[in-house]
Structure 1
Amino acid sequence: MSPEYLLTDLQWRDNIQSPVFQANLVALVIDEAHCVTKWGKAFRTEFANLGEVCSLVPEGVKVMSLTATATIKTRKAICKSVGLINPVIISESPHKPNIKYIVQVNPPPIEETFAPLIEEVRRYRQLTDRAIIFCRTYDSMTHIYLYFKNRLGKEILNPMSAPDMAQFRLIDMFSACTQPDVKEEIIRSFSIPNSQLRVVIATIAFGMGIDCSNVRRIMHWGASDDVEQYLQESGRAGRDHLLAHAILYHKVPDVVTRDLSEDMKEYCINKSVCRRTMLFKKFNGYTEHLYAGNELCQCCDICECVCMCAKCSF
């Protein structure tokens, strides 16, 4: 149930306050709780007012907030906004040892950057490794999708004789402006490991609720607004625990001019510190020993340069 329904729909407020509802309510659970601080400040202010819901439920009803990515600072903000007093906190680092982090500064043009993926789709078709390309703007998403579509032509469909409809596409795009029926088909198809859809080019609208176990690459064309958002999006890779890659392409002027968090700026311009450390240092539960025992070449592009494993020393 959305915060908008809970806080602005009079019928729902009446239902919550009805004797039957009050007598049978067991708990109030807020999923994706990081949205309380992220979205509440921007375009869905009801998220910032979820604490009001707590005042509508009977005293003694348990309240639980869940999120996969919250720094210590964000966690405190969630507790304050929702009205959690002396909460029991169960936390674990969002660190995933099977994701290799790579940053490419001032990448070549789209045509050159994504040419290898084009060839991969041509060669392997519906066996192509799953990938998501996150774009910061609708224009860049459309530009990249049209490049794929123009280069592949009928090869973007499977079979190639099929009509240009979502259920036959190997590559598709997803944004807030995508037609509802197409959105449903993309989400449905991408949630099935061996379905037709292999690559989704998307804005941040392709986010929560997407669960696909075999995504091998998350590619960001432009930096996320902050580290938490980047981990939310890159964390969609490697849910099958096999090696996956999170690749960030960004241009230096964009990092300087965009309103990015300081942590995200540091991650983008960093040239010497392990990228995993840069990403997870402000999350509870992460220490560098968590990656101990794994090959450094599979950690990040910086650690790869100093890896002395048998494969790298050969």
Structure 2
Amino acid sequence: MLLKETKDKLLPTLKTYFGYDSFRDQQEQIVESVLTKNDNLVIMPTGGGKSICFQLPALLFNGLTLVISPLIALMKDQVDGLKANGILADFYNSSQEKFEQDEIFDKIYSKELKMLYVAPESLSFLQNILNETYISCIAIDEAHCISSWGHDFRPSYQQLGFLKNTLPNTPIIALTATADKATRADIIEQLNIPKATQFIASFDRKNIELEVRPANDRISQIIKFIEKQPKESGIIYCLSRKGTEQIANKLKQQGIKAAAYHAGLNFAERTKTQEDFIYDKTQVVCATIAFGMGIDKSNVRWVIHYNMPKNIEGYYQEIGRCGRDGLKANALLFHSYSDVIQLRKFMNGASNEEVQVAKLERIKQFSEATTCRRKILLSYFGELLAENCGNCDVCKNPPQLFNGTIIAQKALSVITRLKESEAIGTVIDVLRGAQNATILDKGYDKLKSHGVGKEISWRDWQQYIIQLINQGYCEIAFHKNNALHLTDFSKKVLFENEVVNLTKPIEYKEQPVVEKTTKTKKPKKDSLFERLRNLRQEIALAENIPAYLVFNDATLKEMERARPMSEADLLDISGVGQRKLEVYGEDFIAEIIAFSNEKIKTRKKRDTHKITFDLYKEGLTIDEIAEKRNLKSTTIFSHLALLYTEGKAIEIYDFVSREEVEKVRLAKATLESPQALKPYFEHLNAEIEYFKIRLALTIIDREG
């Protein structure tokens, strides 16, 4: 049971450090479970808010939270994001100098760190602190890497079972975006956390539009796709290193800022490519699957699979790297049989070849599906969607359906009589009344359902059963020799006569892509969102951090909608915490007020700065106006600057001296007129306060 004193700190801590007023689905229960020192397994989609599940408890624990992360390259991005929120965090890895590593130990000993990111390979260097004197919690990110059933198995993760033995009273939280039932069980067993509470969030990322196209003239299609959203970031996944280089070069020839990322590049080259993408210097990265894991870049708007992925887990994780901010995003997959053949060759001789081949077949079936693609994705992870999603290519261009309830009942009945122990091939053989060795040896020819579907061809039965799997009426148990299992939806078909709609099996042929004729909305050139995005970029360049660490796109959209003109109003925006309010609030409020002033001529609405002007005319001081309006004095000074720009009778030199204005004028010439105030403040050695810099710039601009 969580103490009331601790529980009462949850929401204020969430708002102060992360800018959110409320928790998302299951986050609060997970945080409370960690704080009560339970072990936990969290399955939550990319962009679902996994990180907060261990980052927030880390702020409330007395000691250090150790975060196990698979890639050195992504640790810096994670730590930069935490530091931007005012959280004491660092990373430890082999790329650091010894003095840097010693500094980290000093911070741990003096309790100056809340979180430390480390790769599994580096744990042996942390023996001195791997005890319950220092460690309060262990978070294992990308936990699917521990399992050979998983899609991204890493042997280094299999050593992590020792952590529970070494720190038996320390809570372990394992997190991943993608794990089927077999992988979940394996994670719990290998980490020695049999009593772990499992939290499985919805896998439904409704904001991502799913689309599959035949692989005809892919480069031409990709260029047209990018040209429709020229300012947006995206990732193109390829099978080979050579493919990433070729595609990147072809995009660059079209004037698109693209770069390749693969294991053949050295560490410095890979790091530069990743950072250029994070800092919005590169628009498109053409990458092998290693790119993107753990990167919190929230404004990736699209993901394209140039080649077929090798399984649904990988596909799902990769498309999850777009639309993390909850805004509209696109996932485009090109389907090609040559890719399937190539992937099949890669799997020859693998230790778990049978599982890999079965999972490849499943993603192939997804690509060929004539039913809602989101239903297929969700049912694969054990989540059943009753209605079609309306946001995939199949839903938007639905095929002709027929009532296939009898066909479904026959298939599900045979699966039942086979006690859910056989794969799709044997199920079809029983349906068709086959007399082969397997059927006779196991006595399946004696079953009541033997031959119940002999009028349907073997190939057609295969497509019908794939459709039933895709709709969630049955599922493949990959860890049980690919046996077909029933789901909760099956009972409705077998016992409640629920109608099942199927499509007639067709010979799949790659058709030429028909370009949509629907008009796409062009973004307004001078929208408030664009103004705020430009300001964000200016601040990001000045502070040398990625733009999305200032505020993400969703927060800027909310600012555009709500038009906050005071600090209290800005703090109500989701994504604005106390620290970011203090650091960036004044600049964004001023930009919103300035934009609103430019639009004021077209409407008669009385804006907040005019109320300030009325009180100023009454003779109230700045502090008195601020107190009366429940605003900070810095906000009142922003109002005065705007009023002065409008030509109102403001004695501006009552608040800033002519000497200070001249200093700012010289700084402006030196700094080449940045929009943010911080560069001025630092250039002037913090001798002139922010509000005076704002007023001085207003005077200079008006004189100019």
- Pick the TM interval, shorter chain: 0.7 to 0.9
* 1:48 equivalent in structure 2: 158
1:204-238 CA distances to partner (integer Å, 9 max, x unpaired)?
12121222222221000112222111111101111
- C-alpha distance 305-40 of structure 1, shift in aligned 2 (>3 A): closer
With normalisation by structure 2, the TM-score equals 0.36
Task: State the partner residue of 2:249.
Answer: 146
Cα-to-partner distance string for 1:27-68 (whole Å, 9 max, x where unaligned)? 22211111112598987412123213332x232221110112
Once superposed, what is the RMSD of the aligned Cα atoms?
2.8
Q: Which residue of 1 aligns with 2:197?
A: 88
Distance 1:41 1:73 in 2: 12
Unaligned 5+ runs, structure 1: 157-169
SS of the residue 1:93 aligns to:
coil
Instruction: State how far apart, in whole Å, the 1-side matches of 2:241 and 2:149 are.
Output: 19
Q: Which residue identity lines up with residue 385 of structure 2 in the other structure? A: E
Instruction: Please tell me whether the aligned partners of residues 141 and 202 of structure 1 are also in contact (alpha carbons under 8 angstroms).
Output: yes
Alpha-carbon offset, residue 191 of structure 1 = 2.8
The correspondence of residues 1-314 of structure 1 with structure 2, limited to 5 A, is 1-6=118-123, 9=124, 11-12=125-126, 14-16=127-129, 21-37=131-147, 44-55=154-165, 57-105=166-214, 107-117=215-225, 120=227, 127-149=230-252, 151-152=253-254, 155-156=255-256, 170-192=257-279, 195-256=280-341, 258-259=343-344, 260=357, 261=359, 262-270=361-369, 272-284=370-382, 286-289=383-386, 296=390, 299-306=391-398
Name which one, 1 or 2, has greater alpha-carbon Rg.
2
CA distance, structure 2, for counterparts of residue 33 and residue 190 of structure 1: 25
1:304 maps to a residue whose letter is K
For residues 149 and 178 of structure 2, the distance between their equivalents in structure 1, rounded to whole angstroms, comes to: 14
Q: Which amino acid counterpart does residue 212 of structure 1 have in structure 2? A: K
- What secondary structure, in the 3-state scheme, does the structure 2 residue paired with 1:34 have? helix
Counterpart of 2:222, as a letter, is F
Higher relative contact order (CA 8 A, sep 6+): 1
Quick one: which amino acid aligns to residue 314 of structure 2? Q
In 1: Cα distance, 2:212 partner to 2:223 partner: 18
The runs of at least 4 aligned residues of structure 1 exceeding 6 Å deviation read 39-43
Q: Distance in 2 between matches of 1:95 and 1:180?
A: 35
Please state how far the C-alpha of 1:3 moved relative to its aligned partner. 1.3
State the 1:26 CA deviation.
1.4
State the secondary structure of the residue aligned to 1:266.
Answer: helix
Q: 1:111 to 1:59 in 2, by over 3 A?
A: closer
Q: Does structure 1 retain, via aligned residues, the 8 Å contact 2:301–2:330?
A: yes
Offset of residue 69 of structure 1:
1.9
Q: Deviations over 1:41-98 (max 9, x none)?
A: 987412123213332x232221110112222222112112212212111110221101
Distance change in 2, residues 1:74/1:39 (3 Å):
closer
Q: Is the CA contact (8 Å cut-off) linking 1:40 and 1:48 kept in structure 2? A: no
Unaligned runs of at least 5 residues, structure 2? 1-117, 345-356, 400-517, 519-704
Count of residues in correspondence between the two structures: 269
Residues 203/91 of structure 1: CA separation in 2 closer, same or farther (3 Å cut): same
2-structure distance, mates of 1:139, 1:232: 23
Equivalent pair of 2:158/2:190 in contact (CA under 8 Å): yes
Give the Cα–Cα distance (whole angstroms) in 1 for the partners of residues 150 and 223 of structure 2: 39
Per-residue CA deviation, residues 92-150 of structure 1 (Å, 9 max, x unaligned), is 02211011111123x123443334157x29xx8xx52221101111121112112223x
